[in-house]
Amino acid sequence: MLYVLLILVALAVGVLMLHLRLRLEYSDDRRTLFVGLGRSGPEVDLVSHKVRIRLCGVSIGAVAITGKQEPATAAKKKQAAGPRRARVNIGAWFTVLPEAAAVLWRYFTGLLRATAIEQAEGEIRGGFESPDVTGQVYGYYQAALAAVPSVAGRIRFTPDWTGESWSVAVRFSASLPMYRLVWSTLVLLWQLPIVKIVRLVRNNEKGVRNG
């Protein structure tokens, strides 16, 4: 039993040490979005309309993306049921929302500070019908580089003086440690007035159905 417990603890620590990673690549011939732990997870390919499952960076399978429509019978049932008339206690919500908003703001800003930008590169080639407009846009780009020096070398814009044309290539990758996500979420659940929110939601759900 002790060995099983030690194995479970080791697995939990291993998962917490992984990074939740988001990677985006967008160009004329490649459009992919990856979200997973480390190098394992689903990768959506918008060019081939497939979802690839990657394990340690290696593709182990793919599933075609198909759109599903809701059956007409279910939609008719929803329409027949009619909207629910809720009694909303505005004053009670105003006593809870400021506190909840402050907690959520600290939660999201903390996660943003803990997120590491691994790659952020963009290459834009384009122009407008009028070379004057292209020159103005290129001037704005140069001014932005001067205002934000950290962007220089990452976002490149090459003007096309011959006419209107656009080509965009973006590569972006960011990661967040799992232990930071889990800890911040636990703090969020501890600080949120969950009991008050649940009580208000239940009171709002009490209403009379029309139709």
> How far apart are the C-alpha atoms of 208 and 197, rounded to whole Å?
21
Nearest to 49 by CA among 67, 22, 35: 67
Q: pLDDT exceeding 90 applies to what percent of the chain? A: 21
- 36 membership: H or E segment, kind and range: strand 31-37
Residues forming a β-bridge with 64: 50
Q: Residue 210, Cα to own-chain centre: how many angstroms?
A: 37
- Check if the beta carbon of residue 126 is closer than 8 Å to that of residue 167: yes
Instruction: Render pLDDT for 122-160 as a digit per residue (tens, 0 to 9).
Output: 888 888 888 888 899 889 888 877 776 666 678 888 888
pLDDT at position 33 is 92
Asked if 157 and 73 touch (Cβ cutoff 8 Å), the reply is: no
Give pTM, 2 decimals: 0.68
* CA distance linking residue 130 with residue 162, whole number of Å: 9
Spatial contact of 15 and 37, defined as CB atoms under 8 Å apart: yes
